[in-house]
């Protein structure tokens, strides 16, 4: 079942929506559950809530999956392009637009406010071994940053079509200097047709090389990785939905 809630998001001094999946038997047992946190929570479960009218179909997947889990989807800012600032750990430039990196502030709030709130309200396993983070595009970047810089909180990350291209140098520096536990699992993916219809385009090759560089460094740090280029995949929820079974199985089984 999916429930909707709100929480006060202190960095922006405004309420934010939460989209929370609980196993159907949650109210009839005393079990505790692992948790996966997702960015852009409004895009996870229902097409009617999704920004572009297509969700990730996570409810249908979880209802048929053989592992019970709590999913917490946090909505992003819907004011202009502020999502880019909140979901970027560094000052950056995206196609001529300046991004003010507020990612650390966002993640500090997630770890100090959102996660304790969820652990108090629901029967979770709060340990890092039972806590994952996931997202796409800027949410993929934030998930990668979180699992490396906040590895004491998150042991797993799904980094789907991550927007790492504009911050490669500071990101690689931070991964290099991070303490990463060897039980860390990181899923890295991109679509064959992201940035255009030609998989041999310079942009697709750049995504391939960038993700391979990240994977190589993560492996050197001891993390377990899965690297995946989706054949024919683009930068959209319909294609990210196709990856859900793959990254959920990799992270949790």
Q: HEC string of the chain?
A: CEEEEEEEEHHHCEEEEEEEECCCCHHHCCCCECEEEEECHHHCCCCCCCCCCCCCCHHHHHHHCCCCCEEEEECCCCCCCHHHHHCCCCCEEECCEEECCCHHHHHHHHHHHHHHHHHHHCCECCCHHHEEEEEECHHHHHHHHHHHHCCCCCCEEEEECCCCCCCHHHHHHHHHHCCCCCCCEEEEEEECCCCCCCCCCHHHHHHHHHHHHHHHHHHHCCCEEEEEEECCCCCCHHHHHHHHHHHHHHHHC
Report the pLDDT value the prediction gives residue 202, as an integer from 0 to 100: 65
Mind listing the pLDDT tens digit for each residue in 125-151? 999 999 999 999 999 999 999 999 999
pLDDT (average), residues 35-54: 96
Report the pLDDT value the prediction gives residue 135, as an integer from 0 to 100: 98
pTM here is 0.95
Domain ranges of the chain: 2-252
pLDDT (average), residues 211-234: 96
Report the pLDDT value the prediction gives residue 206, as an integer from 0 to 100: 81
Report the pLDDT value the prediction gives residue 196, as an integer from 0 to 100: 65
CATH of 2-252 given 3.40.50.1100, 3.50.50.60, 3.30.70.360, 3.40.50.1820: 3.40.50.1820
Return mean pLDDT, the chain: 94
Report the pLDDT value the prediction gives residue 30, as an integer from 0 to 100: 95
- Residue 201 above 80 pLDDT? no
pLDDT (average), residues 169-187: 96
């Amino acid at each position: 079942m999916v429930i909707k809630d709100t929480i006060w998001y202190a960095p922006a001094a405004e309420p934010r929506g939460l989209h929370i999946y609980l196993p159907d038997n949650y109210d009839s047992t005393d079990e505790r559950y692992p948790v996966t946190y997702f960015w852009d929570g409004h895009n996870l479960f229902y097409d009617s809530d999704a920004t572009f009218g297509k969700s990730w179909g996570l409810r249908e997947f979880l209802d048929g999956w053989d592992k019970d889990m709590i999913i917490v989807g946090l909505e992003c800012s819907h004011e202009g392009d502020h999502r880019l600032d909140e979901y970027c750990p560094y000052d950056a430039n995206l196609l001529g637009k300046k991004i003010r990196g507020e990612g650390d502030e966002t993640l500090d709030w997630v770890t100090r406010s959102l996660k304790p709130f969820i652990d108090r309200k629901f029967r979770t396993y709060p340990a890092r071994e039972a806590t994952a983070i996931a997202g796409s595009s800027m949410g993929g970047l934030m998930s990668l940053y979180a699992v490396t810089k906040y590895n004491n909180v998150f042991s797993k990350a799904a980094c789907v079509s991550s927007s790492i291209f504009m911050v490669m140098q500071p990101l690689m520096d931070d991964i290099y200097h991070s303490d990463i536990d060897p039980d860390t699992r990181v899923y890295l993916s991109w679509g064959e047709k992201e940035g255009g219809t030609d998989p041999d385009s310079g942009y697709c090759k750049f995504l391939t090389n960038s993700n391979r560089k990240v994977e190589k460094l993560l492996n050197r740090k001891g993390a377990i990785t899965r690297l995946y280029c989706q054949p024919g995949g683009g930068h959209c929820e319909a294609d990210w939905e196709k990856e859900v079974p793959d990254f959920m199985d990799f992270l949790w089984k």
